[in-house]
């Protein structure tokens, strides 16, 4: 196979990979795609659009440009934009793509820390550090990221008014806030109930309570083509701060008519009490992150189910059910062993939650999706 054929094959593969992740780029036949690993690691269009709604100003520097997805969407909110990447091939691809998209972004092939030390101060710096250690294993330690955020923390804050940091959901929010107490907001971002990233919005001089914002975005399935006003994907959000969450007083209840499972962002952030009070639902147990209500709550941030019955954890109690989607919440053992014990096949329209109630009893809650 010739080099030209290899390149064409990579472009065809790349377009398929990003078809749902980056629909507007997949439809643009002028866009070039890098190696598969860069496409797997890049942001989706939905999350890039969301970031673009968080910051604005005159000047932006993206210190970890990569494929250039985030930089391209962020650029619509700034007059002057610098993209930085030490991989020469990615720089060439990004420069081509920015021109194909009609974006005026300066491409810099340079090492991020050295560039940071020499650059003038800007309104906003965006950084998405590589989250693998020297052995190539994924890490949730800020000191093992590249660039090392602990080492460059102070200079980052000196060089911008606003710092936007993208981290993996693996990272502990409280630990990140210890490193960046100037963080005004933490955005826990999911797409279709899969937690994708943590965004730290750090403001120089900020010393208040950090707002924790849990968002669940709908994946974009069609082209978004508004480069003047950013078109946001549909968003479900819940916000609070850790001190307020800790002080919330909520009620507990046995299962009523409806059951609710919070989305992945809420599970990651731990805003369980905030959700209970905002949506007027009762929790089943302090450590069972499921809620219930007598009347159906519209627009609950997660999945909603109608409860058909509640039984003991015994096969004889569910003899009429051969197939179900089984989950455990605050329950001993794992799903595979429980499925074997209950002799249940996977799938179907029935949902069973094995969980612990507030009196510490173990039950099966049989439901159907609302």
Q: Which tens digit of pLDDT belongs to each residue from 35-78?
A: 777 787 889 999 999 999 999 999 999 999 999 999 999 999 99
pLDDT in tens, 119-163: 999 999 999 998 765 566 677 777 778 899 999 999 999 999 999
Which residue, 241, 260, 279, sits at the end of a domain?
A: 241
User: How far does CA 47 lie from the centroid of its chain?
Assistant: 8
CB 285 within 8 A of CB 355: yes
C-alpha to C-alpha distance for 272 and 19, rounded to whole angstroms: 35
Q: How confident is the model at residue 1 (pLDDT cuts 50, 70, 90)?
A: low
Task: Calculate the average pLDDT of the chain.
Answer: 90
pLDDT of residue 223: 38
pLDDT of res. 358: 97
CA distances from 353 to 230, 290, 299, 305, 311 (A): 40, 9, 21, 11, 11
Same domain? 235 vs 253: no
Assess whether pLDDT exceeds 50 at residue 227. no
Total residues belonging to the chain: 370
Confidence class for position 285, pLDDT limits 50, 70, 90: very high
Backbone angles phi, psi at 261, to 5 degrees: -115, 115
Residue 266 has pLDDT above 70, yes or no: yes
Whether residues 211 and 320 share a domain: the answer is: no
Pair 317, 361 in one domain: yes
Determine the structural domain holding residue 259 and report its residue range. Answer: 248-369
Report the percentage of the chain scoring pLDDT > 90.
76
pLDDT at 230: 44
Residues 260, 198 share a domain? no
Taking the C-alpha atoms of residue 323 and residue 344, their distance in angstroms, rounded to an integer, is 5
Indicate which CATH number applies to the domain containing 165.
3.40.50.150
* pLDDT tops 50 at residue 221: no
CB 232 within 8 A of CB 189: no
185 and 47 in a common domain: yes
Report how many helices (DSSP H) and strands (DSSP E) the chain contains, helices first: 13, 16
- Could you tell me if 225 and 305 lie in one domain? no
Asked if 262 and 224 sit in the same domain, the reply is: no
- 78-127 pLDDT, tens per residue? 999 999 999 999 999 999 999 999 999 999 999 999 999 999 999 999 99
Domain count, the chain: 2
Give Cβ neighbours of residue 41 (< 8 Å, ≥ 6 apart).
66, 67
Confidence (pLDDT) at 234: 59
Whether 63 and 145 map to the same domain: the answer is yes
Kindly state whether residues 351 and 289 are assigned to the same domain.
Answer: yes
What is the C-alpha to C-alpha distance for residues 344 and 338, in angstroms, rounded to an integer? Answer: 9
Among residues 293, 292, 369, the alpha carbon closest in space to that of 329 is found at 292
Per-residue model confidence (pLDDT) at position 308: 98
Confidence of residue 289 (pLDDT cuts 50, 70, 90): very high
312 shares a domain with 193: no
Domain boundary among 241, 261, 292: 241
Q: Assess whether 264 and 232 both reside in one domain.
A: no
- Nearest Cα neighbor of 302 from 199, 203, 214 is 214
| Calpha distance 247→271 (Å, rounded) | 11
**Are 258 and 216 contained in the same domain?**
no
C-alpha torsion 94→100→105→110, nearest 10: 20
The domain boundary, picked from 220, 241, 262, lies at 241
What residues form DSSP beta bridges with 146?
130
Rounded to whole angstroms, the Cα distance separating 349 from 203 reads 47
* 239 to 201, 213, 214, 280, 326: CA distances (angstroms): 14, 4, 6, 15, 30
């Amino acid at each position: 196979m010739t080099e030209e054929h290899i390149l064409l094959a990579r472009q065809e593969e790349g377009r398929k990979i990003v078809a749902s992740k980056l629909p507007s780029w997949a439809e643009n036949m002028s866009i070039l795609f890098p190696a598969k690993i860069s496409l797997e690691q890049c942001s989706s269009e939905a999350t890039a659009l969301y970031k673009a709604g968080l910051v604005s100003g005159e000047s932006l520097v993206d210190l970890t440009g990569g494929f250039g997805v985030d930089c391209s969407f962020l650029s619509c909110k700034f007059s002057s934009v610098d993209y930085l990447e030490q991989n020469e091939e990615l720089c060439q691809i990004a420069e081509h793509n920015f021109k194909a998209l009609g974006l005026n972004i300066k491409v810099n092939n340079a090492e991020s820390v050295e560039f940071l030390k020499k650059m003038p101060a800007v309104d906003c710096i965006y950084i998405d550090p590589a989250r693998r250690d020297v052995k190539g294993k994924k890490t949730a330690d800020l000191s093992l990221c590249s660039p090392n955020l602990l080492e460059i923390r102070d200079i980052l804050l000196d060089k911008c008014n606003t710092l936007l940091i993208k981290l993996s959901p693996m990272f502990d929010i409280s630990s990140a806030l210890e490193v960046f107490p100037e963080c005004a907001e933490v955005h826990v971002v999911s797409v279709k109930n899969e937690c994708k990233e943590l965004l730290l919005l750090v403001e120089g001089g900020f010393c208040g309570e950090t707002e924790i914002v849990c968002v669940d975005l709908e994946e974009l399935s069609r082209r978004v083509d508004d480069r003047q006003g950013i078109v946001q994907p549909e968003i479900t959000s819940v916000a609070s701060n850790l001190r307020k969450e800790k002080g919330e007083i909520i009620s507990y209840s046995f299962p009523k008519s409806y059951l609710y499972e919070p989305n992945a962002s809420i599970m990651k952030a731990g805003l369980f009490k905030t959700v209970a009070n905002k949506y007027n639902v009762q929790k089943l147990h302090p450590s069972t992150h499921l809620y219930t209500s007598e009347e159906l709550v519209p627009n609950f941030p997660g999945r909603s189910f109608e409860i058909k019955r509640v039984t003991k954890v015994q096969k004889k109690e569910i003899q009429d059910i051969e197939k179900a989607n089984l989950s455990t919440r605050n329950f001993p053992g794992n799903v595979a062993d429980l499925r074997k014990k209950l002799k249940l096949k996977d799938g179907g329209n029935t949902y069973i939650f094995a969980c612990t109630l507030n009196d510490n009893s173990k039950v099966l809650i049989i439901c159907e999706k609302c």
